[in-house]
Chain A
Amino acid sequence: MTRSPHIEAEVRALISEIARQDASLIRSDEDLVERLGVDSLQGLQILAGVEKHFDVRLPDDDLVHLRTVGRIADRVQQLQHGGRS
């Protein structure tokens, strides 16, 4: 499945707001924790924002493993299409 630029842009905007980072500096494959200094609390706030905004529920495993814009966007897209992977 090709990644939706629209979803990715919205995920990036959300992360930018919560992590107080310039959206243009957040790369798709960059680890949010290691490269952007997102802490564990911000990580949960980001995922909560994703669930609320896209009206999806992330699997519990994702609360640990979703750490890049690209992977979050992919997961949202999969969930919107009714599947997990």
Chain B
Amino acid sequence: MRIGLIAMSGVRVRNAELAALGVTLPQFVSRGKVIASLPSLGLLTVAALTPDDCDVVYRELGEVRCDAPLEPFDLVGISSFTAQIDEAYALADRYRAAGVPVVLGGLHVSLMPDEAAAHADSIVLYGAEGAWPQLVADFQAGRLRPRYEGLRAGVFDSPHYAVPRFDLLAGREYNRVTVQTSRGCPLACEFCAASLRITSSYQQKPVEKVIAEIRAALAVRPAPFFELADDNTFVNRKWGREFLRAVTPLGIRWFTETDISIADDDALLDLLADSGCRQVLIGFESPDAHGLDGLDPRNWKKQRSARYLESIDRIQSRGITVNGCFIVGLDNHTPAVFEMVRDFVRQSGLLEVQVTVQTPFPNTPLYHRLRREGRLPEGRYWDRCTLFDVTYQPKRMSVEELESGLRWLFGELYNEREFLRRKRQYMEIVKARMQPGAPAVTKTW
């Protein structure tokens, strides 16, 4: 049996002015390319969970053309971001019309199961662990069910866990290879549409399994840059220190997402600096406490905001750069937020910055609140869930003010002059940590 696993990989900004601007903004474009070129770890995991008697073909599809011939498969599995889900449905419809059964999975499908079910012979909710092997067995026995539910806890336990099929990436070009160490995040921000929505609690993969996956990826792709596909890697500090001690001897370079509290842990930061970690991505969301009010149930980010600058400095002084993420259009944001973000970035010494617009992904707490408040369009708007298109009525500014403010901020932050300024600022941080008069070869970061 030949199974085709297809990842949709062509998310595009819909706003024409932003799309045009993106072409001219060096750092904005480079981050976009990185995101667009990540392999689908979810489907590599599905491939690993597939019985050995099946042939698995992994494909990435940037766009769906109605006239393109369909690759022949006995069963097709498709995964997609929300922004490209309509194209995924169109592809699924074409396969089904040709008599090929289709399974849909991924975050959007878990959030909108009934919608997805209309375009599939079967859907998989949550992760593939605990669902996919049974689905394949049922399909082979001719009794495929319309819906399977993966595990929401214990996803990394035997026998449900499998090392992703990194061998399927051989011969392809990628900027980064992804490895997951956890699912979920205890902060539970209102807007979040990430793995938090498919887990019942924070799921932590044992260190030895993470290391085994990294070794498996290294066997296929020598010296790749690794991206930990987590939403918040260092929630468990004991695990974090154990992981960092284990990954350091591998000599890899890597990137991950975490929260600002790592700045409180000197021992962790020292281990992080020595482990090959090049950058941590942290969601600051807003430069001021007022903007953060109500963003998460415990107002955790609001409480931390007074120490944002100090925390960034503590992390970057180790030579680890911080990619600071900001969301504009939060309910307490007025048009003043754009200058506030620019000024914060300049003051902070952040080497890299990512600015997105608040996006009410379907069935998130943010979506339901805005729906109740009558601030969402009547119909579906999934194709505009790109993180750069405005899809709702902001509370303290107009849609036009949010769109034009975002363009202005991009122009301010993503230009060669600002990029050089941030590089210079980072170099001064690195130099300040070096010992005066130390020989050049002394490692000080």
Shortest C-beta distance, B436 to chain A (Å), equals: 8
A53 engages B440 (CB within 8 Å): yes
CA of A11 to CA of B441, assembled, Å: 9
Interface string of A34-48 (1 = CB under 8 A from B): 000101010011011
CA of A44 to CA of B279, assembled, Å: 13
CA of A52 to CA of B440, assembled, Å: 8
Q: Count the A residues whose beta carbon is within 8 Å of the partner chain — how many? A: 23
CA of A74 to CA of B349, assembled, Å: 29
Query: Which residue from chain A places its CB closest to the CB of B320 in the assembled complex?
Result: A41
Query: Which residue from chain A places its CB closest to the CB of B423 in the assembled complex?
Result: A63
Q: Does B250 contact A (CB under 8 A)?
A: no
- Of the four ranges (under 10, 10 to 19, 20 to 34, 35 or more), the interface on chain B belongs to 20 to 34
Q: A60-B420, A63-B420 are in contact. Are A44 and B443 (CB under 8 A)?
A: no
CA of A10 to CA of B199, assembled, Å: 52
Q: Does A16 contact B (CB under 8 A)?
A: yes
Q: Does B410 contact A (CB under 8 A)?
A: no
The 8 Å CB contact of B441, one of A17, A20, A37, is A17
Residue among A10, A17, A37 facing the most chain B CB atoms (10 A cut-off): A17
Query: Which residue from chain A places its CB closest to the CB of B30 in the assembled complex?
Result: A40
Query: Which residue from chain B places its CB closest to the CB of A49 in the assembled complex?
Result: B440
Q: Does A69 contact B (CB under 8 A)?
A: no
B278 engages A39 (CB within 8 Å): yes
B431 engages A48 (CB within 8 Å): yes
Q: Does A14 contact B (CB under 8 A)?
A: yes
B439 engages A39 (CB within 8 Å): no
- Near A by CB (< 8 A), chain B positions 249-274 give 251, 253
B440 engages A41 (CB within 8 Å): no
The 8 Å CB contact of A44, one of B423, B438, B439, B441, is B423
Taking CB atoms, residues of chain A closer than 8 Å to B239 are: none
Q: Does A26 contact B (CB under 8 A)?
A: no
A39 engages B440 (CB within 8 Å): no
A63 engages B424 (CB within 8 Å): yes
CA of A35 to CA of B214, assembled, Å: 24
Q: Does A64 contact B (CB under 8 A)?
A: yes
Taking CB atoms, residues of chain A closer than 8 Å to B319 are: 41, 45
Q: Does A79 contact B (CB under 8 A)?
A: no
B440 engages A10 (CB within 8 Å): yes
Q: Does B225 contact A (CB under 8 A)?
A: yes
Q: A41-B278, A64-B420 are in contact. Are A47 and B427 (CB under 8 A)?
A: yes
CA of A63 to CA of B439, assembled, Å: 22
B431 engages A51 (CB within 8 Å): yes
Q: Give 13 A-B contacts (CB < 8 Å), ordered by A residue.
A: A11-B440, A13-B440, A20-B251, A39-B225, A41-B319, A44-B430, A45-B430, A48-B426, A48-B430, A49-B430, A53-B438, A53-B439, A53-B440
A-B contacts besides A48-B426, A51-B431, 17 pairs, CB < 8 Å: A13-B440, A14-B441, A17-B441, A17-B442, A17-B443, A41-B278, A41-B319, A45-B445, A48-B428, A48-B430, A48-B431, A49-B434, A50-B440, A52-B431, A63-B420, A63-B427, A64-B420
| Residues on B facing A (Cβ under 8 Å) | 223, 225, 251, 253, 278-279, 319, 321, 351, 420, 423-424, 426-428, 430-431, 434, 438-443, 445
| Residues on A facing B (Cβ under 8 Å) | 10-11, 13-14, 16-18, 20, 37, 39, 41, 44-45, 47-53, 60, 63-64
CB-CB nearest 3 A-B residue pairs = A14-B440, A53-B440, A48-B427
